[in-house]
Amino acid sequence: MKNISVIGSGTMGNGIAHVFAQHSYLVNLIDINQIALDKAIQTITKNLDRQVAKGTLTEEQKSATLKNITRHTSIEDGVKTADLIVEAATENIDLKLKIFRELDEFSPTEAILASNTSSISITQIAAITGRGDKVIGMHFMNPVPVMKLVEVIRGYQTSDETTQKIMSLSESLEKIPVEVNDYPGFVANRILMPMINEAIYTLYEGVAGVYEIDTVMKLGMAHPMGPLQLADFIGLDVCLAILKVLNTGFGNPKYAPCPLLVNMVAAGYKGAKTGEGFYKYT
Ligand code: CAA
C-alpha cells in the first residue's frame, strides 16, 4: 500500500495525514473546505517543527513529509488512486454513510475503506458499501503523532486479510495496533467514557472541584491528564455523542450522560476548541 487518502482535515485527519506522510506514504488529504486544508498544513508544519526542535526529525525529513501531502476538495479526485482511505470526518452517522457511499463509488474496487470513528458501528458503515470485507475501523488517538495506539476494529464482515493488512500497516507507522470487535464504544471509549462521565458526576454532586478531581487522577493514578481536562481536550460534544452511543447501544442506564455534561454542551461550552469547558483556554 502506497497511496493513502485521508478524508477530513480536522485534528484527527491532519494528525493521520502527518503520520502517513512522515512514513513515506503518498497522502491525498481531502476536505470540502480549502481554508481548512490550508490550516491543516499549517498545523502539520507546526507539529513537524516540534519534532525537528527535539531532534527526532531532520529538516530534510520535514520537507519530504510535507511534499508527500497533496490537498483536494473533491472526494472523487482524491480517492481515485487510493490503496487505503481513512475517513476522519465529523462523528455523525448520516455524514459517514454519505461519505462511504461515495468512497465505494469512486475508489478502486480493491481499496480498503477505514474509518477513524470513535464509536459509530463499523458494521453499519460497511453495510452501505458493496465491499463489507474491506471496511474496517482504524481508530487513532489524539495527538496522533504522539500516541502509540491504533485500535483496529473488525466489523461483522471484515475479512482476516483486511485486518492483517491494517495491523501490518499500523506497525509500519511505528504504532502498536490492537485488534478488537465492533461493539458500542469498542474498547477505548467503552472504558474511557464511563470514567470521564463519573468524574463529571463527581463534580456535579459536589464531591470535589475540578482541580481536586483532576489532581487525584493525575497524581494518584499517574494519568497524564485528569479526566476533566481530558474531556475538554477530546471535546465535550464528542464525549456526549459517544456516551449516547454506549447508552443506546447497550440499553443500559449506567452509560447515561451526566446532566451537567448535557447542559454544558447545550450552552456551547465544548472544551478547548470553544475556549471553555471545565477550564478556560486563551
Ligand atoms: N504533534 C507532535 N508532537 C506533539 C503533539 C503533536 N500534536 N502534541 C504534543 N507533542 C509532543 C511534544 O512535543 C512533547 O514531546 P517531548 O516530550 O518529546 O518533548 C510531548 O508530545 C508532550 O507534549 P507537551 O510537553 O506539550 O505536553 P504534555 O507533556 O502535557 O503532553 C499530551 C501532552 C501528549 C497530550 C499528554 O498530556 C497526554 O498524553 N494526554 C493524554 C492524551 C490522551 O489520553 N489521548 C487520547 C484521547 S482519546 C482519543 O483520542 C480517542 C477518542 O476516541 C476520544
CB count in 10 Å sphere of residue 120: 21
The three cell numbers locating residue 108: 478502486
Q: What is the pLDDT of residues 168-194, one digit of tens each?
A: 999 999 999 999 999 999 999 999 999
Q: What is the dihedral of CA 151, 156, 157, 161, to 10 degrees?
A: 40
Q: What is the pLDDT of residues 238-270, one digit of tens each?
A: 999 999 999 999 999 999 999 999 999 999 999
Rounded to whole angstroms, how far apart are CA atoms 53 and 64? 17
**Cβ(174)–Cβ(150) under 8 Å?**
no
* Cα 37 to middle of ligand 1, angstroms: 22
Rounded to whole angstroms, how far apart are CA atoms 271 and 81? 38
Q: What is the pLDDT of residues 17-60, one digit of tens each?
A: 999 999 999 999 999 999 999 999 999 999 999 999 999 999 99
Atom of ligand 1 nearest to the CA of 15: 7
Q: What is the pLDDT of residues 195-243, one digit of tens each?
A: 999 999 999 999 999 999 999 999 999 999 999 999 999 999 999 999 9
User: Binding site for NAD(+): which residues?
Assistant: 8-13, 31, 91, 96, 118, 142, 273
Structural domains for the chain: 3-181 (3.40.50.720), 189-273 (1.10.1040.10)
Atom of ligand 1 nearest to the CA of 48: 2
pTM beyond 0.90: yes
190 Cβ contact partners less than 8 Å away, ≥ 6 residues apart: 183, 184, 246
Distance separating the N- and C-terminal Cα atoms of the chain: 42
Measured from CB, residues less than 6 Å from any atom of ligand 1 are 47, 50, 54, 118, 141-143, 145-147, 188-189, 224-225, 230, 234
**Cβ(149)–Cβ(141) under 8 Å?**
yes
DSSP-derived 3-state class of residue 117: coil
276 is catalytic: no
**Residue nearest (by alpha carbon) to ligand 1 atom 51:** 141
- Among 16, 117, 141, 146, the mutation site with the greatest number of ligand 1 atoms within 8 A of its Cβ is 146
Give this complex's ipTM.
0.91
